[in-house]
Structure 1
Amino acid sequence: MNSRFRDTSEQDRPLERPTRRRPLLLAGGAVAVGLLVLLGGGRLRQMLSADSAVSAARLSIATVDVAPLTRDVAGEGRVVAAQSPTLFAPGAGTVTLAVKAGDPVKRGQVLACVDSPELTNRLAQERSNVDALRADLARAEVEARQQTAALQSAYENARIDQQTAANDLARQTQAFEAGATARMQVERAQDALAKARLALDQARDLRGLKTDSLKLDVQAKQSALSRQQLLVTDLERQVAELQVRSPVDGQVGQLFIADRTNVARDARLLSVIDLSALEVQMQVAESFARELQPGMPGEINGNGQRWAGQVSSVSPEVVNGEVAARLRFAGAQPEQLRQNQRLSVRVLLDKRDKVLGVARGSFVDESGGSFAYVVRDGVAQKVPVKLGARSLERVEVISGLVAGDRVVISGAENFKGAERVLIAD
């Protein structure tokens, strides 16, 4: 019976006597915390005040300094002809080509002929009208001379009649004074003289009026002839232009029609490329294109060589967010260049020696240049800034930063807009 029941000897355990070691450990921990607070209170407060923490390995940090700022635009360009005129049909008709694509041509060389019967016939008709008007002018001049002679004769007769009447009056007056004639004869002579004077005045006035009228008629005929001659001259020019000539020395580029094709007026015929004047065309982003101006210096690289260039023109049209700009060679044109050859192009927009700035990074585009994160004592603080000129490598700082500030230039998107962020090592 007693063997079936166990005693409590296995459950009883001796208790250890309390020692003084634990209070000492607690006291030492309190001292350590106190020292930590005293020695690193600022750092601890920063850690506690930060909104979040980001590893420094995920960030790029640059220092604000004073250095030269060079703003430029670089890209790839292709060689194009400065002059590449397209020739059009001066009139409707059948075109006969005198050259082929790629043929070298000289200035003034006939490239194509347009057979335009309509224009040729019109020229012949207008020339015939010129002959008719010239005959009308000659006839008007002859008639003017005839009528002028008749008017002059009538005037001379009237003048003679007046002189005759004056002489008759003088004789009648002498006879009356001598008593050889009656007073009635004197009065008749006076009336005849008055009529002769009136006839002379009328003949003089009629001669002047008629002469002016004849001159106007002749001038009208001359004006009509001159107008017709101008029309013929213009038609002769148009007929001469039916022979399409090259405006420059160069090479035939592209033929837009086949030989013996009937075309309408102003139809495209062919293009000529002037290889003596080449330029380099590049595509520039719209944001930089606003600052491009003709005359800006540039640099052209290719074939292991470098040439000085100058912006010659900037297109006013934006296509797909880009603007076409052309550069001409500042010196002699290289001979080894070919049409559509690819070259590297760089255009200098601005260059200043001493500019407060920082390396360009994603923060410029992400923040729009309105704020930046400045790293001080391991904490990135968000501060408002104002940025100025920008190049591919640097950006100018106008306000908000000073030389020596360390700025997060990329990776700031990890901060998610926080005001203060702890930078963890």
Structure 2
Amino acid sequence: MIKDTTAQDTRITRPAFPWLRAASISLVLLVGAGTAITVAARWLSGEVVVKNERLRIAEVRAGDLLRDVSVSSRVVAGVSPTLYAPNAGTVTFHVRPGDHVDQGAVLANIDSPQLTSQLAQEQAKLQRLDIDVKRQAIQNQKNDLVARKDLQQAAVALAAAEREHQRNKLAWDRGAINEVDLRRAEDELSSARIAHDHAVEEAKLNRASREFEQRTRELELRQQALLVEELERLVSGLKIRAPIAGMVASLLVADKTSVADNSALLSVVDLSQLEVEAQVPEIYADTLGLGLSAQVKVGPAEYPGTVTSISPEIVQGQVAARIRFEGDLPEGLRQNQRLQTRLLLDEHRDTLVLTRGPFVQDGGGRIAYVVRDGYAERSSIETGLTNSSDVEIVSGLNPGDQVVISSLEPFRNAERVRLD
């Protein structure tokens, strides 16, 4: 049976220095009060305080600013013609992909019976027209003979009529003939003159007609000759020849198959003229232009180049740009080799440059905080060209200024901020 709780009681010893505890409590209360008073004073005064360790600060410097973009690219043939079928027919290849060919070498033949038959028919027609022209020339010579004969006969008749008229006039003067005979002689002379004049004019007209007819036949012959020449060119074009010296890249149709007119057959590449095709994001499309400088990285080295062509269309958010190397090609360059290319979009020399940071977006490129004597003071600025690492300062800052480039949110748009 438990009588009381005496066995559970513990004696408490009083501290030797009771004033020490009181002093500690008082010190803590004084520090807390001081901190509260300081915070309250700062709040009442409207001063913004930001810790230094939360900020990134950079110096405004003078220098050159280059705006560039790094894009992926690949090596392509600068000259890579695709050959097409000039006419429908059956194609027979004489080469295979990877074969090296000389300029003018026959790469394929197209068998087109229709075109070959048409050429034979037109050649036969050309021969017939040539014979017609020669026959017409012979006929014209015959007609010239007849015309000359008629003209000469008319001249002889005219001369006879003139002599008869002269003899009758002398007889009339002597009274040997009557007036009726004289007048008959005069009529015969007039008739002979009319017949002679008519023969002369008819000979001229007949000659002009024959020349016109001859010219017409010759023009028909010339027209047919041009048609045959064109068909011969088409038939000759059935032999597909290499336009350049290079390598056969690919066959676009199977061997011994029928192809339609203007069908792509094969492609040839000139491996001595390699270029770089860069895929540029469409956000840079407005800044692209012919003649832009580029740096193509091949291994550890960079080689200068120039933009020579830009695709007029955007495919999957990218614009294709062709870059030609300046000078000799880098050694070991291969077609379809993947490279990294840097396009130099713009360059400003002897300008003020500041490291780019979140302050550009937060202030819209118009606000910056300059650090002076432990304070960050707000300044209005104007920015220009920017790239991935720097921004151009057009106005508002001076070389050597220390500027906050981190986020401006802690500054709460204050005019002056104290830095701890």
**TM score, norm. by length of structure 2:** 0.80
The answer on 1:214 being equivalent to 2:210 is yes
What is the DSSP-based 3-state SS (H/G/I as helix, E as strand, rest coil) of the residue aligned with 2:313?
A: strand
- Local SS of the residue matching 2:210: helix
Q: Contact (CA 8 Å) 1:76, 1:342: kept in 2 or not?
A: yes
Q: Is the 8 A contact 1:372 1:408 kept in 2?
A: no
**Which of these residues, 212, 222, 229, is aligned with residue 225 of structure 2?**
229
Q: Tell me the residue number matched to 1:48.
A: 46
**CA distance in structure 1 between the partners assigned to 2:410 and 2:129 by the alignment:** 92
Counterpart of 2:125 in structure 1 is 129
Q: Deviations over 1:262-290 (max 9, x none)?
A: 22111221111211110011122334343
RMSD: 3.1
Separation in 2, partners of 1:172, 1:291: 109
**Matched residues in 1 for 2:229 and 2:328: separation?**
43
Report if the CA contact (8 A) 2:89-2:111 is conserved: yes
Match of 1:99 in 2: 95
* Secondary structure of the structure 2 residue equivalent to 1:180: coil
Contact 2:362-2:407 within 8 A present in 1 as well: no
Within 1, Cα distance between the matches of 2:318 and 2:377? Answer: 37
Question: Which residue of 2 is the match for residue 13 of structure 1?
Answer: none
Please state whether the residue corresponding to 1:222 is helix, strand or coil: helix
Cα deviation 1:173-205 (Å, max 9, x = unaligned): 222222222233332222222222222222222
CA distance in 1, matches of 2:55, 2:212: 95
- 2:370 is aligned to 375
Mapped to 1, the partners of 2:149 and 2:44 lie a distance apart of 127
What is the TM-score normalised by the length of structure 1? 0.79
The percent identity for this pair of structures is 39
Tell me the CA shift for residue 46 of structure 1.
11
After the TM superposition, which residues 24-423 of structure 1 pair with which residues of structure 2 at under 5 Å, given as runs? 48=46, 57-364=53-360, 369=365, 371-375=366-370, 378-379=375-376, 381=378, 383=380, 385-404=381-400, 406-412=402-408, 418=413, 420=415, 422=417
Match of 2:12 in 1: none
> Matched residues in 2 for 1:181 and 1:338: separation?
118
Q: How far has the Cα of 1:143 moved from its partner?
A: 1.8
* Counterpart AA for 1:152: R
- Contact kept, 8 Å, 1:61 with 1:406, in 2: the verdict is yes
Query: Aligned equivalents of 1:148 and 1:320: distance in 2?
Result: 79
Deviations 1:61-116 (A, max 9, x none): 44444322233333332111001111112221111121112222221122111111
CA 1:139 to 1:183, structure 2 compared with 1: closer, same or farther past 3 Å?
same
Q: Are the counterparts in 1 of residues 279 and 319 from structure 2 also a CA contact under 8 Å?
A: yes
Alignment-mate amino acid for residue 373 of structure 1: A
* Cα contact 2:276–2:322 (8 A) shared by 1: yes
Mapped contact 2:310–2:321 kept (Cα < 8 A): yes
CA contact (8 A) 1:59 1:412 kept: no
Change (3 A) 1:396 1:184: farther
Q: Distance in 2 between matches of 1:374 and 1:281?
A: 43
C-alpha separation between the residues in 2 aligned to 1:84 and 1:331? 20
Residues of 2 paired with 1:153 and 1:232: CA distance? 41
Aligned residue pair count? 382
Counterpart Cα distance in 2 of 1:158 and 1:326: 85
Change (3 A) 1:154 1:322: same
Shift of 1:218: 1.3
Q: Which deviates more from structure 2 when the two are superposed, residues 291-300 or residues 333-342?
A: 291-300
Shift of 1:412: 3.8
AA aligned to 1:372 is: I
Q: Which amino acid aligns with 2:189?
A: L
Letter in 1 for 2:158: Q
Q: CA deviation at 1:399?
A: 4.2
User: In the aligned structure 2, how far is the partner of 1:127 from the partner of 1:299?
Assistant: 59
Matched AA of 2:339: L
Distance 1:359 1:201, change over 3 A: farther
For 1:101 and 1:46, the matched residues in 2 are separated by 83
Decide whether aligned partners of structure 1 residues 198 and 275 sit closer, same or farther in structure 2, where only a CA change above 3 A counts.
Answer: same
1:301 and 1:404 map into 2 onto residues whose CA distance is 35
Separation in 2 of the partners of 1:295 and 1:213?
66
Change (3 A) 1:169 1:342: same
Which structure 2 residue ranges, 5 or more long, are not aligned?
Answer: 1-33
The residue type equivalent to 2:322 in the other structure is R
Aligned-partner SS, 1:253: strand
